[in-house]
């Protein structure tokens, strides 16, 4: 089993509910165990004129291979109404593999550690809630260093909703 961190985001069709549904789906992945989820955060879109995003990071332990997990995550996105019309466009659900154990992955379909995560507070701060403080990415960068270089700007940590961020047991 490898520890995998998955970035989650939504800015359409009740974003918080989209994330809660995704958490339930992640808990049902084969050969995997749901390990936790960060608080939900809101941030502005990377493109002007879009609704704000709700983001979180989930952790799973899995025996799935990276591309098999990617396929499963894309199936969850489609099940929740994801349509791919434009890059960085509004979406019901976006699930990104941020870290996959200590693997460096560079294929046409998947790059891990996830590209640009170092510049995205809506990824780093939720990740820091789940990952050990001493986490070092497979490319040698430490999470502590990335956090120090990426201020908590434009990000709002949402108050917890009782038990809403945990899958049903």
- Catalytically active residues are 82, 91, 94, 96
Quote the CA–CA distance of 19 and 131 in Å, as a whole number.
19
Structure tokens at 76: 């969850």
CA 65 to chain centre: 18
- H or E element at residue 15: helix 15-26
Measured CA to CA in angstroms, residue 153 lies from 86, 123, 147, 156, 164 at distances of 26, 12, 12, 8, 25
């Amino acid at each position: 089993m490898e520890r995998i961190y998955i970035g989650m985001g939504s800015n359409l069709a009740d974003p918080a509910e989209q994330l809660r549904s995704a958490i339930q789906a992640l808990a049902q992945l084969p050969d995997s165990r749901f390990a936790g989820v960060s608080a939900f955060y809101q941030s502005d879109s990377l493109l002007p004129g879009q609704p704000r995003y709700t983001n979180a990071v989930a952790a799973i332990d899995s025996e799935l291979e990276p591309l098999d997990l990617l396929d499963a995550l894309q199936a969850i996105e489609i099940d929740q109404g994801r349509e791919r019309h434009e890059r960085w466009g509004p979406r019901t659900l976006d699930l990104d593999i941020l870290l996959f154990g200590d693997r460096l992955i560079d294929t046409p379909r998947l790059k891990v550690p996830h590209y640009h995560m170092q510049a995205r507070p809506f990824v780093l701060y939720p990740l820091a809630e789940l990952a050990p403080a001493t986490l070092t990415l497979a490319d040698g960068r430490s999470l502590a260093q990335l956090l120090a270089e990426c201020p908590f700007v434009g990000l709002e940590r949402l108050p917890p909703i009782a038990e809403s961020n945990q899958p049903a047991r």
